[in-house]
Amino acid sequence: MSKMKILLKNGRVIEPSAGIDAVSDILIVDGIIEKMGARLSGGKDVQEIDLKDKIVAPGFIDMHVHLREPGFEHKETIETGTLAAAWGGFTAVCCMPNTSPAIDDASVIKHIAERARSVNDGLVDVYPVAAVTMGREGKYLTPMMELVEAGAVAFTDDGAPVESADVMRRALEYASMLGKPIIQHAEEVSMTKGGVMNEGFVSTALGMQAMPPIAEEIMVNRDIRLAAYAGARYHVAHISTIGSVESVRSAKRKKMPVTCEVTPHHFTLTDESVRSFDTNTKMNPPLRTREDVEAMKEGLHDGTIDVIATDHAPHSYDEKQVEFMYAPFGIVGLETALGLAITELVHKNVLTLVQLIEKLSVNPRRILSLPLIKFGEGEKANLTLIDPECEWIVDTQKFKSKSKNSPFDGWKLTGKAIGVFNKGYFLPT
């Protein structure tokens, strides 16, 4: 990591919110964009980086990350998680409140913020998402105003859906005063008890207890109604079924403030992968069918799905080295997200690079009311550099994340981040 004068030469600069898409040089001095334009030249002390055929994008944010600290530091820490984020091309992450203690008190947010500033030179901004209810138990609302004042950017009980419609209604109403969205892990748990994979032909063929797709859809539908009634903003975490995407699409058509995100694994893998009994194919929501994967791509393409987020869920090697039924849900995603997105979406003509950048930077920032990243002289350099044509092979042992639980080990991907800038620091990856 270095703090110096850097000249980015010949990169294709894309900033969708301002409609910028042009080749330009960028001179960065002490973390500030000093100059942009053609054929810039630095001085002797300027480090030049040639970015011909490479992309310069506003820094990416992953709005769904489990940093595991405090409480589960054997899986991940703020230090290893944010380094993994930077290597994956993210200059910011939102950390989920499934920690121990849960993020239901301002003191936890302050602790996280302090740790985030002190590791990796604070290269990656960490935005905590606080719990909706105390201890994520679904009963009593957290002190949302105090939490927002401390730095919470949204609320969710992620992993534990807010089951009670009444609690959800009050949470939506209360959060709407603060202009913050409620993010829901949409799952009607009375239907998913004991389930370890998607319910369908594959679960039947494997004799596995399963989670029906309608368990997600019922909750998405209920919540959309509640959000409309409460006049609140609602965001569906890791959307995964055809029906859920349809519901969000129709809510958007009615101009309701409903948004959603999809994970790379839900637009890449199907439940057929579970036939391997590889516990790295076990996550919640589970991998769905080919038709669902197609619906994710369609939703990304037509704008129904606003955001790509990883649901980065680190678990230690031993925790996943058990029978499928007993393994914890979740996989790491920070270091494969961009490669999968470019390989599966950009190179397969689902999204343009501009649209991809919207879903990795602009849209999540809008949903979370974070300032958009600007390109212009005098602006802070918060950038992700991408080589969309770079071919590489995923090697989980090289992950910066403390955990290696990925089903993509050995996959050949095209496209990756080649560096990030933030807070005056540059990390070539």
120: helix, strand or coil: helix
Give the integer Cα–Cα distance in Å for 360 and 370. Answer: 13
Least distance to other proteins from the beta carbon of 311, Å? 23
Nearest Cα residue to 287 out of 371, 183, 208: 208
Interface segment toward other proteins; rule CB under 8 A; list 181-189, 201-209, 218-226, 249-257: 201-209
205 forms part of the interface with other proteins (CB under 8 A): yes
Report CA-CA distances (Å) from 403 to 144, 302, 352: 32, 34, 31
> Is position 311 annotated as part of the catalytic site?
yes
Among 2, 41, 118, 204, interactor with other proteins by CB under 8 A: 204
Least distance to other proteins from the beta carbon of 210, Å? 8
Residue 206, Cβ neighbours under 10 Å: how many? 16
Among 43, 207, 371, 378, interactor with other proteins by CB under 8 A: 207
Least distance to other proteins from the beta carbon of 317, Å? 11
Q: Which is nearer to other proteins, 195 or 419 (CB)?
A: 195
* Active-site option among 311, 387, 395, 409: 311
Among 10, 17, 209, 429, interactor with other proteins by CB under 8 A: 209
Cis, bond preceding 285 (omega within 30 deg of 0): yes
Q: Which is nearer to other proteins, 17 or 209 (CB)?
A: 209
Quick note: the x/- pattern for other proteins over 157-196, rule CB under 8 A, is ------------------------------------xx--
Q: Which is nearer to other proteins, 196 or 360 (CB)?
A: 196
Residues whose CB falls within 8 Å of the CB of residue 226, separated by 6 or more in sequence, listed in order: 165, 168, 169, 172, 234
Quick note: the x/- pattern for other proteins over 311-340, rule CB under 8 A, is -------x--xxxxxx--------------
Number of residues that bind other proteins (CB under 8 A): 21
Q: Which is nearer to other proteins, 171 or 202 (CB)?
A: 202
The answer to whether the beta carbons of residues 95 and 70 sit under 8 Å apart is no
347: helix, strand or coil: coil
Query: What is the token pair recorded at 172?
Result: 């939506």
Residues whose CB falls within 8 Å of the CB of residue 372, separated by 6 or more in sequence, listed in order: 17, 58, 362, 365, 366
Q: Which amino acid is at 127?
A: Y
DSSP state of 270: -
**Residues from 11 through 70 that contact other proteins (CB under 8 A):** none
Least distance to other proteins from the beta carbon of 329, Å? 15
Residue with tokens 């080749």: 23
Q: What's phi and psi for 45, nearest 5 deg?
A: -85, 15
Q: Which is nearer to other proteins, 1 or 325 (CB)?
A: 325
The answer to whether the beta carbons of residues 46 and 88 sit under 8 Å apart is no
253 forms part of the interface with other proteins (CB under 8 A): no
Least distance to other proteins from the beta carbon of 205, Å? 7
Residues whose CB falls within 8 Å of the CB of residue 90, separated by 6 or more in sequence, listed in order: 59, 60, 61, 62, 124, 334, 384, 420
206 forms part of the interface with other proteins (CB under 8 A): yes
Least distance to other proteins from the beta carbon of 297, Å? 23
> Pairing state of beta strands 5-15 and 20-29?
antiparallel
Q: Which is nearer to other proteins, 113 or 206 (CB)?
A: 206
Q: Which is nearer to other proteins, 203 or 355 (CB)?
A: 203
Give the integer Cα–Cα distance in Å for 61 and 99. Answer: 20
Least distance to other proteins from the beta carbon of 280, Å? 13
Query: What is the token pair recorded at 297?
Result: 């791509």
Interface segment toward other proteins; rule CB under 8 A; list 80-88, 166-174, 197-205, 348-356: 197-205
Distance of CA 336 to the CA centre of its chain: 12
- Which residues sit at the interface with other proteins, rule CB under 8 A? 193-194, 199-201, 203-209, 212, 277, 318, 321-326
Q: Which residues are catalytic?
A: 311
